[in-house]
A and B are shown apart, each in its own frame.
Chain A
Amino acid sequence: MTLQLHATPAEVMRGVEALQGFARAQGMPEKTIFGLALALEECGSNIVNHALQRDAQKQFQLVIEHTNHAFVIELRDGGPEFDPTAATDRTLRAEDDDLPGGWGIQLVRQNMDEIHYAREGNENVLRLIKRVNLSVDEK
């Protein structure tokens, strides 16, 4: 599934709702869907608020894929180069609320198995991967 989203909070949530519907159709459990939705909301919000400065004329791309072994969320934006994975990996801390992306990236790490960043041309490409095994873990 591929969506082009405008750089607004409402569009981030349109993407989240699309992901939730897609994941439910795939038979994913609600607990997993919650984590996927949370990761997408945090990363999408980061793109909208920081990379694209809430310029509704600008767009970013969301790709959602599900294989037998993984659920993949790919986000692609044309904002300034920014690697959210470069933030220090650490335990969630309440006092991080004043740091840009402080809680957000930590919540993403909490809910996804892999986070990959790449700068491709003029785009930031973020791939979030959740390993799933519906036959064993999820049913």
Chain B
Amino acid sequence: MSLSIQTINSSDPRQAGVVTIKLIGSLDTATAPELDRELTSCLAGRVNDLVFDLAELKFVSSAGLRLFQVARKQMVARGGGRASFINMQPQVEEVFVIIQSLPGIGVFKDIEALDRYLATRPRPNLWPGTQK
């Protein structure tokens, strides 16, 4: 089983700083280092909201959950940042129950639900000197 990662920076000025990471395949003990590297690179940039699109994530273990937890902690540590998850499949959701109630995590049914949230949410300015 393999993992494919697609990172998309929002081109919508209303969603500046929103980065979506689409995970395709299996996030497990063998593939977790790939996401770890991607997160390290991604979080070094200007990210206000980190969104994981799990529509095509077929498998996740605690190795993957730990990375989600790391991302969540880093976003929270930035002061108001958040890690959100969309399009979660039922089996993945059962594993995810461990962390989904944590502060700094949002779980949304789909991108429309997330967009509605982002449109109404007060945006943190995690990067002083830049436009929100």
A and B: interacting chains: yes
**B91, A94: Cβ atoms under 8 Å?**
no
- Determine whether the beta carbon of A94 is less than 8 Å from that of B30: no
CB of A107 within 8 A of CB of B61, answer yes
Contact B1 A104 (CB under 8 A): no
A46 and B65 alpha carbons, distance in the complex (Å): 15
Minimum CB distance partner of A95 in chain B: B102
**When the two chains form their complex, are residues A103 and B62 in contact, meaning their CB atoms are under 8 A apart?**
yes
B29 at the interface (CB under 8 A from A): yes
A92 to B29, CA, bound (A): 20
Most B CB atoms within 10 A — which of A48, A49, A103? A103
Residue in B closest to A96 when the chains form the complex, CB atoms: B98
Q: What residues on A are CB-neighbors of B113 within 8 Å? A: none
Contact B29 A103 (CB under 8 A): no
Q: How far is the CA of A103 from the CA of B32 in the complex (A)?
A: 15
Cα distance, A38 to B53, chains bound together (Å):
21
Q: Is the CB of A48 within 8 A of B29?
A: yes
| CB-CB contacts below 8 Å: B30-68 with A | 30, 59, 61-63, 65-66
Report the stretch among A8-16, A78-86, A124-132 that lies at the interface: A8-16
Nearest A residue (CB) for B61: A41
Inter-subunit contact B29/A9 (CB<8 Å): yes
